[in-house]
Structure 1
């Protein structure tokens, strides 16, 4: 059943978008608009008078009107192996040309099977070559596990564009096949879930807060302009929209004053809590305010705790400082040394408000508490 309200799974990390590390491996047709558009992080746009030599320019994936047997489909490689909890198929602005129905299949491939994948040559106005199609057919992707059956889509008007779909499967997958029936367009595809990586060796320095390590955002105070789950993406932030940005707090003082260490005296703050993929000990923290030039937070602190798997941010707990309140500046990576105990959760607090692009917490997995 398609959900019309924003479901809880949409708060989870997203693994198909380009900045998360998702990619298009294969598509049967890219005639009007290439498949990679479907994975852009930005909101879809419509430019009324923009045309290409192949027809109307559309901000999404759009295939030609099919005049041969079959239906169109593509294969995507997700950012990491993950349990898929739900999807969003956004048909924004595809009103008379949206794909009427879709389905999703999923798989994990062996190294030998991955070697069969052809190189991707994105060309508007093109269809896949017979040679590439024959190579991909060896994967038998039409027999992959079906995690979303054939499901109707709605046209891309504002009131009907957002097609959410819950997935009831606890298997972890790395590749998905997106089938559209028989042709048409999709503006954006989002794949929400939980990363399931293998535990790294205890000697290896890893980003414990990365979404690729299995970290998820489980609570926050404000996400007016950008969700805090963005700050644990593996790639560098593209724009302010690709970070965590709050509204301006209405309780900030009329006249600002500073403490002896240079941080401002404010009455409020904003926070986000993250459950780490692995229990670990943090050695270094990087707070990146890239693109936030007139709206970066004055200061930030990071706290940690060792909690059980069922803990919720609505429960009280005792947090301890990993990084004390520290001054920030515009459009810059800020590096801090620390030496935390073994922790499973972190709380990131900015004062009084503003935006950060990324946070990195480098450390070692605690092998006795996975």
Structure 2
């Protein structure tokens, strides 16, 4: 078996890395402009998968790099007089492209992260976590690299924003989707894949674009099932999500695509309505069980099948702001969809 790469301990990471990666190719992010793409193109910054290192691979422009790498800068000013961008690699922005991008006046945009010294790309120093100075809604960002060099990946963590004033309360919408403001706020285990993946855009293309836990070691040596075929095991795994907007859920989709030998045996979904203050308290407590927080059962314990979309209609009367997905005993899910009607905040009795 190949050696596993060294992984950082979750406890050492800042809290914001649990939020959605809004600058990723799978969320629709795109590179609009780059001053130079000589060794490797800027589009690599947005790849979902971790960067690779291929020691023996070279291109016509130098070492093959799975990231964005510019040539070594040798003249002042921002954009030297290079030939047309062409096939991107081995080129720089053309005069026409530079002139077009100047209309955005991005040099006058709000600074989110000041000029910061970055660490070299070794296993124990390659990740640089930088908090944003202003928490507002943004649609575009500009990454400045001084004076030149290479960056493997750019991750922009945050929460999606939707104009809910344009959405009718009669409209059916996926309330937990990341594009609608849904976000994962807690989980029990994310050994092979983070639960925030399951509220992503579209259907997953690979198993890694989903939530997958480690195998639980508290399973009995001999498994038994009840009359409905549901395994009777003591352990479970869970993930908590905040909806993009409070609402009433009427349809549920659980997709286990790509999980053929490692899908959960069963799942259930619960909901609750809590205030922002109580949400902060629960995050601090890591969503530990409490008598004060009572979860309402939305989808009862339900048997799941491998590599398949599961659709359920539920009868729900109460408005919820948060949901908890529980799987037994462990395994992976590629997507979670919670279709429902958004409700006004004033209608929540908190």
TM-score, normalized by length of structure 2?
Answer: 0.87
Corresponding residue of 2:98: 133
Equivalent residues of 1:71, 1:180 under 8 A apart: no
RMSD, aligned CA: 1.8
1:146, distance to aligned residue in structure 2 (A):
0.8
Name the CA distance, whole Å, in 1 between partners of 2:103 and 2:274. Answer: 46
- Alignment of 1:206 with 2:177, yes or no, is no
The within-5 A match list for 1:245-284 is 245-284=212-251
Distance 1:323 1:126, change over 3 A: same
**Residue aligned with 1:162, SS:** coil
**Residue aligned with 1:19, SS:** helix
- Alignment of 1:9 with 2:27, yes or no, is no
Name the CA distance, whole Å, in 2 between partners of 1:253 and 1:280. Answer: 39
Distance 1:122 1:143, change over 3 A: farther
- Alignment of 1:24 with 2:24, yes or no, is no
Equivalent residues of 1:71, 1:182 under 8 A apart: no
Distance 1:215 1:369, change over 3 A: farther
The within-5 A match list for 1:114-153 is 123-153=88-118
1:323, distance to aligned residue in structure 2 (A):
1.0
- Alignment of 1:224 with 2:231, yes or no, is no
**Residue aligned with 1:189, SS:** coil
**Residue aligned with 1:195, SS:** coil
Distance 1:343 1:154, change over 3 A: same
Equivalent residues of 2:38, 2:90 under 8 A apart: yes
Q: Unpaired runs of 5+ in structure 2?
A: 1-10, 80-84
- Alignment of 1:318 with 2:294, yes or no, is yes
Name the CA distance, whole Å, in 2 between partners of 1:198 and 1:122. Answer: 38
The within-5 A match list for 1:53-68 is 53-68=60-75
TM-score, normalized by length of structure 1?
Answer: 0.82
Equivalent residues of 1:70, 1:182 under 8 A apart: no
Equivalent residues of 1:216, 1:229 under 8 A apart: yes
Q: Unpaired runs of 5+ in structure 1?
A: 73-119
Name the CA distance, whole Å, in 1 between partners of 2:331 and 2:171. Answer: 33
Equivalent residues of 1:301, 1:348 under 8 A apart: yes
**Residue aligned with 2:107, SS:** helix
Higher strand share: 1
Distance 1:295 1:314, change over 3 A: same
Aligned residues: 320
Corresponding residue of 1:87: none
1:349, distance to aligned residue in structure 2 (A):
0.3
Equivalent residues of 2:176, 2:243 under 8 A apart: yes
Match of residue 126, structure 2, among 133, 155, 161 = 161
The within-5 A match list for 1:69-148 is 69-71=76-78, 123-148=88-113
Higher helix share: 2
